[in-house]
Amino acid sequence: MPQDLDSFSIKNWSLDDRPREKLLSKGKDALTDAELVAILIGSGSRNESAVALSKRILASVENNLNALGKLSIDQLLKFKGIGEAKGVTIAAALELGRRRKLEDAAEVKKISGSHSVYELLQPILGELPHEEFWILYLNNANKVLSMHQLSKGGMTGTLVDVRLVFKKALETGAVSIILAHNHPSGTLKASQADKNITEKLKKASESLDIKVLDHLIITEKAYFSFADEGLL
């Protein structure tokens, strides 16, 4: 006899197996990633519980939440039991997590080296599927006065508006800048375009007595620093 369609709904589980109740009684830290995702989706399918479905989704990305956050709605919809509403809920929850991490990173205001730049910008750039180019504007104590996205979606020398870069530097009173962009491919090698942009902005900065301190290439788990590698 076929099982009832709702037999795998969370509301029909034993009390000890319900992640919502577990969160209330034991706290959010007691839940596994799969249980947290199960709360988001609410129910599984006819033959699979929400937790089992969540485990299957997580297994497809090697239980990596950053990788899960990169899945598109269309990719999530390929899992049986995930409809548009559930896919959107998962995507929205993970985006909130990314933004929370970004706010935490923004508290790192003083730049002490390339690693502190990476800590600041990795939450912004590390997981993006497209390229973005950012400028950090610093005062004479190496504190970040402003952060500005210069371009999005690609990067060539023609996308760099030198006037805009240094107009903002003068407006904020910056004495130095740091350049940064991401490589979604994960490659940590500076291209000729990367080097050309760095040189272009470095030359323009000299007449204004503003220093280009570094240029970072950022990926999800690592970075390349022009300054550390002696390319500035």
Distance CA 227, CA 109 (A): 19
Tokens of 69: 């956050």
- pLDDT-based confidence at 106, cuts 50/70/90? low
Residues facing 216 on adjacent strands: 180, 225
Parts of the chain belonging to CATH 3.40.140.10: 109-225
Say whether pLDDT at 118 is over 60: yes
Q: 10-103, which class in CATH?
A: mainly alpha
| Burial class (CB within 10 angstroms; exposed 0-12, middle 13-18, buried 19+) of 60 | middle
pLDDT single digits (tens) 199-217: 999 999 998 999 999 999 9
- pLDDT-based confidence at 17, cuts 50/70/90? low
Q: Which residues of 87-113 are buried (b: 16+ CB within 10 A; e: fewer)?
A: bebbbeebeeebeebeeeeeeeeebee
For 70-74, the CB contacts below 8 A with 24+ separation are: 70/127, 70/129
- For residue 193, CA distances in Å to 82, 190, 231 come to 42, 8, 14
- pLDDT-based confidence at 222, cuts 50/70/90? very high
Parts of the chain belonging to CATH 1.10.150: 10-103
**Residue 88's closest CA among 125, 42, 121?**
42
pLDDT single digits (tens) 31-85: 999 999 999 998 887 788 899 999 999 999 999 888 898 899 999 999 999 999 9
Whole-prediction pTM = 0.61
Check residue 12 and give its pLDDT.
59
Say whether domain 109-225 belongs to CATH 3.40.140.10.
Answer: yes
